[in-house]
Amino acid sequence: MDILTIGIESSCDETSVAVVKNGREVLSNIISSQVEVHKIYGGVVPEIASRRHIEVIDYLLDEALEEAGISLEDIDVVGVTAGPGLIGSLLVGVSYAKGLAFALGKPLVGVNHIAGHISANFIEHRDLEPPLLCLVASGGHSHIVGVRDYTEFEIIGKTTDDAAGEAFDKVARILGLPYPGGPNLEKLAAGGDPCAYEFPKSYPSRRDYNFSFSGVKTAVLNLVNSLKMRQEPVPGEDIAASFQKNVVEVLIDKLINAAIDFNYDKVAIAGGVSSNKALRQKLKEEAEKAGLKFYYPAPVYCTDNAAMIACNAYYEYLRGNISDMTLNAYPHIGL
Ligand code: KG4
Ligand code: ZN
């Protein structure tokens, strides 16, 4: 019998509702981005984000059901991001999902947002199965995760300071680019020379799979400040390209070393930064050289979306991990 899972995502500045069949077939994935709302502030304003989630979530559910060609009663499982994320934003989705599950008398499943990002790969590649090693690089997280099973994870490395996406956003801001920083920095980098500047890399040791991106960010800041002080032009394209090369190389190097050291033959990427074309292209080459199979989701499943949440909720449901009405929002919960 088919199982239809509704996914609800509201952890940051995207509201999304999706319907997914048997965990992997996306029937609808409606995303309402708040980029325009937050653009004038140069970043996400949490209070505004949660209010905006409230305004649109009901309409998104209607749209998701309509596009999937089903009615509310057809839903078998209600999955929702319970954390990590912004507390006010998370609470909107969690409260909405609880109401929905209670009214329909259907099981409620609280999903970890990072596990959701990883699951994007299972949607994209229907035959992909764990175990695999996944790099989750988003605005809030940079993790190397051993995916032992659909719901069983082992964190092999993580950032000790800024997340990769956070570093992209901060460097974009230093270069005067508008929010959202990551995609805009990638566009600027396309016209630059990636070898123009050598920024410091965080390689404490080969066996260390943790990241640190605050050093490269500060190096860019110091460079831009000193150029401005000397009233010299700031070559934004070259700086963006050199910064992007630095981050991409560190992410890839650590992922591949970890795959070899921990005996994984499949590597995947997930999270907003994984939509970066330089990262995808270079990792494809490096994974091939190392004899590893490489998987990546379509850009729409890299950034925040509810289909990935429904996918993970489905597998949690199959394993009997059902939440009850005490489910809360957990802003700092780990994987
Ligand atoms: O996964 P996501 O949508 O939200 C979080 O869970 O954080 O990731 C958003 C992050 C932001 O920091 C954004 O700048 C970054 O992903 N990002 C990118 C690109 N697209 C999004 N970073 C680099 N290159 C991109 N193309
Ligand atoms: Zn995310």
Q: Per-residue pLDDT for 203 more than 90?
A: no
275 ligand 1 Cβ < 6 A? yes
Whether 4-119+302-318 shares its CATH topology with 131-297 is answered yes
Distance of alpha carbon 155 from its chain centroid, rounded?
A: 16
Nearest CA to ligand 1 atom 10: 139
Report the C-alpha gap between 247 and 75 in whole angstroms. 42
Distances (CA, A) of 77 to 48, 85, 108, 168: 29, 22, 6, 36
Cα–ligand 1 centroid distance for 14 (angstroms): 12
Bridge partner residues of 16 (DSSP): 9, 31
13 ligand 1 Cβ < 6 A? no
Which SS3 state, helix, strand or coil, does residue 142 take?
strand
Q: Per-residue pLDDT for 204 more than 70?
A: no
**Annotated binding-site residue? 85:** no
**DSSP code of 44?**
-
Question: Tokens representing 287?
Answer: 């994974």
What's the mean pLDDT in 270-292? 98
Domain at 4-119+302-318: CATH architecture = 2-Layer Sandwich (3.30)
Question: Tokens representing 327?
Answer: 């489910």
Q: 146: part of which helix (H) or strand (E)?
A: strand 142-149
Under the banding of pLDDT at 50, 70 and 90, the label for residue 180 is: confident
The preferred substitution site among 171, 252, 273 for testing ligand 1, maximizing ligand atoms within 8 Å of CB, is 273
Question: What protein residues have CB closer than 5 angstroms to ion ligand 2?
Answer: 138, 304
Q: Report helix angle 236-261 to 164-174, nearest 10.
A: 170
Q: Per-residue pLDDT for 208 more than 90?
A: no
What's the mean pLDDT in 328-332? 97
Neighbours of 335 (CB within 10 A): 16
The preferred substitution site among 136, 168, 248 for testing ligand 1, maximizing ligand atoms within 8 Å of CB, is 168
273 ligand 1 Cβ < 6 A? yes
pLDDT score, position 277: 98
3-state secondary structure 236-292: HHHHHHHHHHHHHHHHHHHHHHHHHHCCCCEEEEECHHHHCHHHHHHHHHHHHHCCC
Q: What is the ipTM of this complex?
A: 0.98
Nearest CA to ligand 1 atom 21: 272
pLDDT score, position 143: 97
Classify domain 131-297 by CATH number: 3.30.420.40
Domain coordinates of the chain in residue numbers?
Answer: 4-119+302-318, 131-297
Tell me the DSSP string of 319-332.
Answer: TT--B-TT----TT
Under the banding of pLDDT at 50, 70 and 90, the label for residue 202 is: confident
Q: What single-letter amino acid sits at 251? A: L
Cα–ligand 1 centroid distance for 218 (angstroms): 20
What's the mean pLDDT in 283-303? 98
Q: Kindly identify the ligand whose nearest atom is closest to the C-alpha of 303.
A: 1
